[in-house]
Structure 1
Amino acid sequence: MNELVILSPLEQEYLLRVVEAGARVRDMRQFFLWTQGQLQALLPHQVLLCMEYGPGDALRRLECIHGAVLDEDILRQLTDPAHGLAVQAARAGREGWRMPAIAVASQGGAPAAVGLALERSGFDNLLVHGSGMLAGGASVFALLGLPIKPGPRHAYFLELVLPHLHFALLRCAQQEPARMVQGRAGIARPLSVREAEILSWVREGKSNYEIGSILGISALTVKNHLQRVYRALGVSNRAHALSRCHALRLLEPEGMAPAGGRRARPG
């Protein structure tokens, strides 16, 4: 990781945008938009794992940030508090794995537990860095699924943005103290039966118009329901709503309307 890295003018611009936008992050909705927007321009990735540790290396928070819906089994492989990839990478860093660190599934170099967890997760590469223990706690961030094999340049970029990720996550924790490990956060209120029903059709890839036709309501009513769902979940779009529902297990099989299933009553 000692290779000299010189940022191009475009990379300097991307970095500046990350820093400027990160300073305004105050809650997890903003954190999601930031990491899926400005950070993606500098460090494109599929999944970002965020861990916050307190005294005695106690895991206080684990967030799995991703734009696309992940299979529940993959989420478990990533976020299991005992053997998941996130905690394995963080533990390896505390035990001497030099940070920032890179793991590629087809190559060696990573601690055995990290390599095995990476292989099980279905992702082929990992880039990870941590703050070490500081006054407000420690944090570790792991990026998965970079489109090209990560190298020293990617590691340097993560090293540059690490302080901004760290303090943004701490600010979110201050604003949302009820959030729990594995993203199993409390939500503003329970979802209604109709809201869960609409989300189940969203998961099937249906448009607002198609959902309205299935349920006997207008597309505008579907849109209004979804806006209320977004506020309840603290998200801003369909993909993030579905990922949060998966993490919270809000759409269990018995609660979902099957594709092509019965027509629900109007409401």
Structure 2
Amino acid sequence: MNNAIELGDEDCGHLARILLASRRVNLRHNFFSWVHGPVQSLIPHEILLCGIADEGGYLLHQRFTACRYFKDDHYHRVIHPADGLIHQLTHEWGAKREPRLIAALTDDPDGWHRRLLDLELKNLAFHGLCRVDGQMWGYASFSRLRVPFDARLALFMELLLPHLLVTLARVLANEARTRSLGDRHAGLITAREAEVLAWVRDGKTNEEIAAILGLSMLTVKNHLRHAMQKLVVRTRGQAVARAIALGFLRAQSSRRPE
């Protein structure tokens, strides 16, 4: 049925912009901005749940939503491995391998609409992608959509899903690589050196850090010098950035402003 649908210039333009923008997505916050930016032009939504199978076939679920009604409890119920919504949708999708569209229904004999309301999803468009062995490689489930649930939506799901999953895979691979790099450098800097760098991140001078930690200025300078040598950087700012990248520091302070 989707083969008969022709896309106009505007839709083709949206599709091209989505695909081009995906090439710049490498981090989780980039992915969030992408799905809540360019992707909205073809699939306007509030909640995206998606996942990719690992080497053992276990789905690594992800969520990208700014919807304040969709809580952690809803999410965990949706992805429950035994009786969660994604588990059921995956099995249903496996029979036909076509997008599953569930709109807000007035007549609800199967109970789908009541279940979606209970989970704060309202409606749902689900599609999956298989590996060469026929097992599911990944899926995407859009909810709180603001478009007709028709063949055009199904077509957009089919067109965008491969690019969405490849982009997500790149983000997850980058995160895994960062964690691995951090593991290799575990213990590289001492707890005291990390503490000094945390105060540098917060904008404190050496004199202020010495007063806060009850150390001499010389000791603070030595901690900084040793940290910079171990992190192979030349400046305080580079040391902070490197420590954040390796997972030794948070990007932002958890301390309350004075």
> What TM-score bracket applies, with the shorter chain setting the length?
0.5 to 0.7
Alpha carbons 2:51, 2:62 under 8 Å: kept? yes
Instruction: Sort the Cα spacing of 1:68 and 1:74 in 2 relative to 1 into closer, same or farther, 3 A.
Output: same
Compare relative contact order (CA 8 Å, sep 6+) and give the higher one, 1 or 2: 1
Correspondent of 2:130 among 126, 129, 132: 132
- After TM superposition, list the pairs within 5 Å mapping 1:78-93 onto structure 2: 78-93=78-93
Aligned equivalent of 2:157: 158
> Matched residue of 1:176: which SS?
helix
Shift of 1:79: 3.3
Aligned equivalent of 1:248: none
Instruction: Sort the Cα spacing of 1:265 and 1:174 in 2 relative to 1 into closer, same or farther, 3 A.
Output: closer
Aligned equivalent of 1:101: 100
CA distance in 1, matches of 2:257, 2:250: 22
Instruction: Sort the Cα spacing of 1:148 and 1:137 in 2 relative to 1 into closer, same or farther, 3 A.
Output: closer
CA distance in 2, matches of 1:120, 1:36: 24
Give the fraction of aligned pairs with identical amino acids, expressed as a percent.
27
Provide TM-score, normalisation by structure 1: 0.59
Bigger Rg, which one? 2
Aligned equivalent of 2:171: 172
- After TM superposition, list the pairs within 5 Å mapping 1:20-31 onto structure 2: 20-31=20-31
Shift of 1:58: 1.7
Shift of 1:115: 5.9
Aligned equivalent of 2:144: 145
Residue type matched to 1:131 in 2?
L
Unaligned stretches of 5+ in structure 2? Answer: 179-193, 199-243
Instruction: Sort the Cα spacing of 1:75 and 1:12 in 2 relative to 1 into closer, same or farther, 3 A.
Output: same
Aligned equivalent of 1:71: 71
Residues paired across the two proteins, number: 188
> Matched residue of 2:140: which SS?
strand
1:209-247 CA distances to partner (integer Å, 9 max, x unpaired)? xxxxxxxxxxxxxxxxxxx9xx9489xxxxxxxxxxxxx
Instruction: Sort the Cα spacing of 1:113 and 1:169 in 2 relative to 1 into closer, same or farther, 3 A.
Output: farther
Aligned equivalent of 1:16: 16
Superposition RMSD in Å: 3.6
Instruction: Sort the Cα spacing of 1:113 and 1:168 in 2 relative to 1 into closer, same or farther, 3 A.
Output: farther
1:94-114 CA distances to partner (integer Å, 9 max, x unpaired)? 2x144112112417899x696
